């Protein structure tokens, strides 16, 4: 059947609208981790799932290795609408919505399984991820990432808090992290994670603290081979979406985003655990000195932090909710 000129014009116009809409819904996501590790892969899986759910209407482009700035800079871009999505470390996120600080309280979580249960819990969304958006913080928490226990590493062995005395230890720009190192006797030195390798190499700092995967993937073991498994905190990372971006989506698109986010959360958790197990198995061959210390002396040094947080009614409610997860 031969189409009229009017029909052809209408079809062309509708195709043009579709093309414009598709282009308008391309989202950008940035993070500070290396390519093909758990964060990078989960953001890519989020993009694939969102593209599938939307029938190709929404795409996500992922930028790894701090291509778009440091974690703090990318989070600030999310807040002002210059970036759609970013991953913000569990210690940095408190700078943008202070209640997140509770997840960074030393030894709040009983063990790693406790963290993983929390990440999937209703409490995680009620008190933090959704609450950040509802309290007009400028972003929606899409999902928590598991990133394992954070521990110290240095150029020399650390067996107890006393060994930290006088050591310049890199920490993120986090009040809770700074207080943790101070109480243990170290000298907290805030800096971007991308600067740590050269700072260790040039003796600007003596050590740092992070999770084991980041430590190995960033090859920090080459300049600080002593890993102290004190597991002082286990704050999960947060994947955040700009409120400007979220509010520009219609209700159906918002539902797709939330569904894709939970899919990516579960993917990241499974991939991270497998990767972590493999990395620990490689420790000896990489020249890493693993030291499984008694955590109690470290916990005793920092117990005042949870006591202080419990004096704040809003924080106490979140802490009790987390502690109540079995």
For the chain, which residues make up each domain, given as ranges?
A: 5-147+235-279, 150-234+285-323
What pLDDT, on a 0 to 100 scale, did the predictor assign at position 192? Answer: 86
Q: What is the b/e burial string over 281-299, where b = at least 16 CB atoms within 10 angstroms of the residue's CB?
A: eebeeeebeebebebeebb
Structure tokens at 161: 């808090």
* pLDDT more than 90, % of the chain: 86
Pairing of strands 85-88, 237-242: antiparallel
* Enclosing H/E stretch for 188: strand 187-190
Confidence band of 24 (pLDDT split at 50, 70, 90):
low
Confidence band of 130 (pLDDT split at 50, 70, 90):
very high
- The CATH code for residues 150-234+285-323 is 3.40.190.170
If you classify domain 5-147+235-279 with CATH, what class do you get? alpha beta
What's this model's pTM, rounded to 2 decimal places? Answer: 0.85
Per the CB < 8 A criterion, the answer to whether 268 and 39 are in contact is: yes
* pLDDT more than 70, % of the chain: 93
The pLDDT of residue 12 is above 50: no
pLDDT tens for each residue of 250-299: 999 999 999 999 999 999 999 999 999 999 999 999 999 999 999 999 99
Confidence band of 16 (pLDDT split at 50, 70, 90):
very low
The pLDDT of residue 98 is above 60: yes
The pLDDT of residue 30 is above 70: yes
Domain 150-234+285-323 in the same topology as domain 5-147+235-279: yes
**What does the mean pLDDT of the chain come to?**
92
């Amino acid at each position: 059947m031969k189409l009229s000129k009017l029909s052809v014009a209408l079809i062309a116009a509708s195709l043009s609208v579709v093309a414009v809409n598709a282009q308008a819904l391309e989202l950008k996501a940035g993070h500070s981790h290396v390519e093909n590790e758990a964060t990078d892969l989960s953001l890519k899986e989020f993009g694939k799932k969102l593209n599938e759910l939307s029938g190709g209407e929404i795409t996500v482009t992922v930028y790894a290795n701090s291509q778009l700035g440091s974690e703090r800079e990318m989070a600030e871009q999310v807040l002002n609408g210059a970036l759609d999505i970013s991953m913000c470390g569990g210690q940095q996120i408190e700078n943008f919505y202070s209640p997140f600080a509770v997840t960074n309280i030393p030894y709040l979580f009983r063990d790693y399984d406790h963290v993983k249960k929390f990440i999937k819990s209703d409490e995680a969304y009620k008190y933090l991820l959704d609450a950040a958006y509802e309290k007009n913080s400028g972003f929606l928490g899409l999902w928590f990432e598991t990133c394992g226990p954070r521990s110290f590493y240095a150029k020399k062995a650390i067996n107890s808090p006393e060994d930290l005395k006088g050591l310049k230890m890199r920490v993120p720009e986090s009040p809770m992290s700074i207080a943790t190192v101070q109480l243990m006797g170290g000298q907290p030195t805030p800096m971007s994670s991308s600067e740590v390798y050269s700072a260790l190499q040039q003796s600007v700092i003596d050590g740092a603290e992070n999770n084991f995967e980041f430590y190995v993937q960033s090859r920090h073991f080459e300049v600080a081979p002593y890993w102290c498994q004190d597991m002082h905190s286990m704050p999960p990372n947060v994947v955040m979406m700009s409120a400007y971006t979220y509010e520009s989506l219609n209700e159906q698109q918002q539902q797709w985003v939330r569904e894709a986010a939970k899919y990516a959360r579960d993917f990241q958790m499974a991939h991270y655990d497998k990767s972590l197990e493999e990395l620990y198995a490689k420790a000896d061959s990489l020249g890493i000195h693993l030291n499984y210390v008694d955590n109690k002396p470290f916990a005793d040094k920092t117990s005042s932090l949870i006591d202080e947080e419990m004096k704040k009614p809003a924080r106490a409610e979140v802490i009790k909710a987390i502690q109540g997860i079995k």
